[in-house]
């Protein structure tokens, strides 16, 4: 496969994994869904787990690029961006193909802390936590790491609630709670 074909395989596999899960998606299913032969697939990915890691890497890069760009479009201040992140989440939740967070799913399917897929999922969450800690520092929060943990906890809860409890309006309710936390952290 040419390099762009490899990237296309990863993009297609990402969609299948997101839709159907990791353990439920075998190589035979990936062959059918992606249109790539098993021989070609194994030429670039020694194992299904290698393909999952590549898909998670792509998801991490694309999610952070799109989400953080949207947050900065919604507000131009660090404090505003922390709150605007919930509006960006709400937009994501309303997408037709929304099925929750791929990293939460991966962490649930690969629960051992030392498993490479679990570690890569945790790394994504840590990068997001670090981003919000930086915003909290820029906003002048008394304890930016603590505020970031609270904000991310609300985001993660909203992500899960958006799958199961749509009637609770998770993004807006989490946003209201985040505003209270932010106001208290900036006093």
Give percent of the chain above pLDDT 70: 98
Q: Name the more confident of 85 and 1.
A: 85
Q: What is the pLDDT of residue 3?
A: 53
The CATH superfamily label for domain 3-185 reads: Tetracycline Repressor, domain 2 (1.10.357.10)
In the DSSP assignment, the letter for residue 76 is: S
Contacts of 14 (CB under 8 A, 6+ apart): 55, 58, 59, 102
Domains in the chain: boundaries: 3-185
C-alpha 81/C-alpha 158 separation (Å) is 17
> What does the DSSP assignment read for 12-47?
HHHHHHHHH-STT--HHHHHHHH---HHHHHHH-SS
Express each pLDDT in 128-184 by its tens digit.
999 999 999 999 999 999 999 999 999 999 999 999 997 889 999 999 999 999 999
H or E stretch including 49?
helix 48-74
Percentage of the chain exceeding pLDDT 90: 84
Residue 181's pLDDT is 97
Cβ count within 10 A of residue 34? 19
pLDDT classification of 1: cutoffs 50, 70, 90: very low
**Phi, psi of 26, rounded to the nearest 5 degrees:** -90, 170
């Amino acid at each position: 496969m040419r390099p762009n074909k490899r990237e296309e395989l990863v993009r297609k596999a990402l969609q299948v994994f997101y839709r159907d899960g990791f353990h439920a998606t075998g190589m035979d299913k990936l062959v059918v869904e992606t249109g790539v032969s098993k021989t070609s697939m194994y030429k670039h990915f020694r194992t299904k787990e290698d393909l999952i890691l590549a898909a998670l890497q792509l998801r991490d890069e694309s999610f952070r690029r799109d989400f953080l760009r949207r947050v900065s479009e919604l507000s131009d201040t660090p404090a505003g961006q922390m709150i605007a992140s919930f509006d960006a989440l709400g937009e994501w939740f309303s997408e037709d193909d929304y099925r929750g967070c791929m990293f939460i799913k991966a962490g649930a399917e690969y629960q051992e802390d030392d498993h490479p897929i679990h570690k890569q999922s945790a790394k994504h969450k840590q990068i997001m936590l670090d981003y919000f800690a930086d915003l909290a520092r820029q906003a002048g929060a008394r304890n930016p790491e603590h505020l970031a943990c609270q904000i991310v906890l609300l985001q993660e809860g909203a992500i899960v609630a958006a799958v199961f409890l749509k009637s609770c309006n998770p993004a807006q309710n989490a946003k209201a709670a985040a505003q209270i936390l932010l106001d208290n952290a900036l006093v």
